């Protein structure tokens, strides 16, 4: 039985800052007002069984190669520089994440399950290959990597030889980490610097393996935290992910930061997506949008095309189109009036329904 072992709190806190905390986001909404919305998981549940193959609709490989076998998704490090990683193509906003994983062995090898938001909120499970008997739980809020008592290690009964159920239950009030159904750690909102360090913005799931113990790739503290120097000759080192299950408490097609605070209360949920099947009047060549023009021409075109995007507004205009300040959003005038975000140079149909 896995047991909560507060005694397993290692004297590594000063090093925990070197753990997986991401320090980079392609667009951080707390420092940038022009970030685009996140694609959301619009269903309330999602699950995948990687022992039956990959799921390229919901996952994107961001580094390396992953093989899918009857053992699951295999993430292997064979040589320096390998760090195979996949991440979801969508974000979810509070809920549960259940991952069945068999961590990789190998001193200095880190297997990880990471939830990461655009403003660098993070919830982690990390498995150090040199320590088959424990798993680290960790969290970060808004990229604050100041290290105190965030990383906590728990015992896992067996280890790299069998997979275990690592589940995170993430609500506005608390985060609970479960190992094989046993609650091991709970972080209350107020205990994370009165919420300031509490992960609370839409998260993407990242699964990957990396060589934290390669001194040529990492700082000394990271290598120490990872358990020491990697010896690639002992490899290959493989992490197996059998399955992933997500419950999204706030299903929506898009999540938008309403301001720069990074608070959950400011996240706007969007759900209106159109699939505009073009027929009849078709607007083509809307490149004017790039120039910030506020009007364009509507012409009948013989070609047909489908366009899809997020409806962000509607208008009663019956002709012409207006281009919103974003440059990519069109207000289409017709019997059905749509403002479609994310389209450029594509053809829009007039018969679409919002
Ligand atoms: C803000 O985001 C835009 C779009 O992603 C990017 O081009 C710009 O460099 C960012 N600015 C800052 C200060 O991060
Ligand atoms: C998938 O990952 C690649 C490589 O990092 C990136 O260029 C691409 O934009 C990603 N696609 C999605 C849908 O996230
Ligand atoms: C992935 O595997 C293919 C075929 O084995 C190989 O050609 C390619 O270089 C690999 N890519 C990476 C990023 O390792
Ligand atoms: C970062 O977190 C630490 C506590 O872990 C806190 O003392 C500090 O004020 C936080 N910094 C910011 C900018 O919130
Ligand atoms: C690791 O797993 C092996 C095989 O299941 C078992 O014999 C061993 O006791 C486990 N070690 C720990 C530290 O749990
Ligand atoms: C995994 O653990 C979670 C949390 O305890 C539990 O709800 C879930 O049913 C478990 N999954 C399986 C397959 O046992
Ligand atoms: C978005 O639509 C899904 C079903 O398609 C629904 O479950 C969800 O509650 C909707 N979200 C919002 C914010 O309306
Ligand atoms: C465009 O198509 C519509 C419907 O097919 C038709 O009523 C209209 O006369 C056409 N306009 C032009 C300028 O061809
Ligand atoms: C855009 O077109 C509409 C309808 O043709 C017209 O009423 C409006 O004045 C035009 N706006 C601009 C800024 O040219
Ligand atoms: C447009 O969408 C419709 C309905 O989804 C589909 O039947 C049709 O084949 C699509 N047309 C094109 C050109 O993709």
8 near 157, Cβ under 8 Å?
no
The catalytic residue among 74, 98, 116, 122 is 122
Q: How far is the CA of 85 from the centre of ligand 10 (A)?
A: 34
The pLDDT value recorded for residue 309 is: 39
The pLDDT value recorded for residue 305 is: 30
268 is catalytic: no
151 near 136, Cβ under 8 Å?
yes
Nearest ligand, CA 143? 4
The catalytic residue among 74, 98, 116, 126 is 126
* Domain 6-267 top-level CATH class: mainly beta
Q: How many CA atoms lie within 13 A of 63 on its CB side?
A: 13
Return the DSSP state at 40. Answer: B
133 lines ligand 5 (CB under 6 A): yes
Of the candidates 14, 266, 22, 258, the residue with the CA atom closest to the CA atom of residue 140? 22
SS (HEC) of 213-243: CCCCCCCHHHHHHCCCCCCHHHCCEEEEEEE
Q: What is the pLDDT of residues 213-259, one digit of tens each?
A: 999 999 888 898 899 999 999 999 999 999 999 999 999 988 999 99
Order the strands of the 59-63 sheet from edge to edge: 59-63, 85-88, 203-211, 109-117, 122-128, 134-140, 152-155
Residue nearest to atom 10 of ligand 1 (CA): 32
The pLDDT value recorded for residue 342 is: 33
pLDDT beneath 50, residues of the chain: 1-18, 273-354
Neighbours of 255 (CB within 10 A): 25
The structural domains of the chain, with segments of one domain joined by +, span: 6-267, 273-349
Neighbours of 136 (CB within 10 A): 24
Q: How far is the CA of 338 from the centre of ligand 6 (A)?
A: 43
CA distance 337 to 298: 13
CA distance 202 to 262: 10
Q: How far is the CA of 142 from the centre of ligand 7 (A)?
A: 27
Tokens of 69: 């076998």
320 lines ligand 9 (CB under 6 A): yes
The pLDDT value recorded for residue 156 is: 67
The pLDDT value recorded for residue 13 is: 33
Residue nearest to atom 1 of ligand 7 (CA): 252
Nearest ligand, CA 65? 3
Nearest ligand, CA 13? 4
The dihedral of CA 121, 238, 55, 247: what is its sign?
A: negative
CA distance 42 to 252: 4
CA distance 27 to 43: 25
Which residue bears the tokens 């594509």?
Answer: 346
173 is catalytic: no
The pLDDT value recorded for residue 21 is: 62
Q: What is the pLDDT of residues 312-353, one digit of tens each?
A: 333 333 333 333 323 223 333 333 333 333 333 333 333 232
- State the DSSP H helix or E strand holding residue 16, giving kind and residue range, or none if neither: helix 13-16
Q: How many CA atoms lie within 13 A of 41 on its CB side?
A: 28
The pLDDT value recorded for residue 160 is: 67
Q: φ and ψ at 191, to 5 degrees? A: -80, -5
Q: How far is the CA of 64 from the centre of ligand 3 (A)?
A: 7
């Amino acid at each position: 039985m896995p047991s909560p072992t507060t005694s397993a709190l290692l004297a590594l806190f000063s090093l925990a800052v070197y753990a997986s905390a991401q320090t980079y986001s392609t667009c951080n909404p707390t420092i940038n007002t022009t970030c685009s919305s996140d694609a959301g998981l619009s269903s309330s549940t999602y699950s995948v069984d990687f022992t039956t193959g990959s799921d390229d609709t919901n996952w994107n490989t961001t580094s390396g190669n992953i093989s899918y076998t009857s053992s699951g998704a295999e993430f292997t490090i064979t040589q320096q520089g390998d760090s195979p990683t996949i991440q979801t193509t969508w974000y979810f906003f509070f809920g549960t994440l259940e991952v069945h994983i068999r961590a990789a062995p190998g001193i200095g090898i880190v297997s990880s399950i990471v939830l990461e938001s655009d403003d660098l909120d993070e919830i982690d499970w990390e498995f150090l290959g040199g320590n088959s008997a424990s798993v680290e739980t960790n969290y970060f809020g808004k990229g604050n990597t100041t290290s105190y008592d965030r990383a906590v290690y728990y015992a896992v009964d067996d280890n790299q030889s069998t997979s275990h159920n690592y589940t995170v239950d993430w609500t506005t009030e608390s985060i609970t980490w479960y190992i094989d159904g046993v609650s091991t750690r709970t972080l209350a909102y107020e205990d994370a610097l009165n919420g300031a360090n509490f992960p609370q913005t839409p998260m993407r799931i990242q699964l990957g393996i990396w060589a934290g113990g390669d001194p040529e790739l990492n700082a000394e503290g990271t290598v120490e935290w990872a358990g020491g120097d990697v010896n690639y000759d002992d490899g290959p080192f493989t992490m197996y992910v059998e399955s992933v299950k997500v419950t999204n408490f706030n299903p929506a097609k898009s999540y938008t930061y309403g301001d720069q605070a990074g608070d959950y209360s400011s996240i706007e949920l969007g759900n209106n997506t159109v699939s505009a099947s073009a027929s009849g009047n078709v607007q083509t060549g809307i490149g004017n949008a790039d120039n910030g023009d506020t009007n364009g021409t509507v012409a009948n075109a013989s070609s047909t095309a489908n366009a899809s995007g997020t409806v962000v507004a509607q208008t009663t205009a019956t002709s012409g189109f207006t281009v919103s300040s974003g440059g990519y959003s069109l207000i289409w005038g017709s019997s059905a009036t749509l403002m479609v975000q994310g389209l450029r140079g594509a053809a829009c149909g007039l018969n679409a329904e919002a």
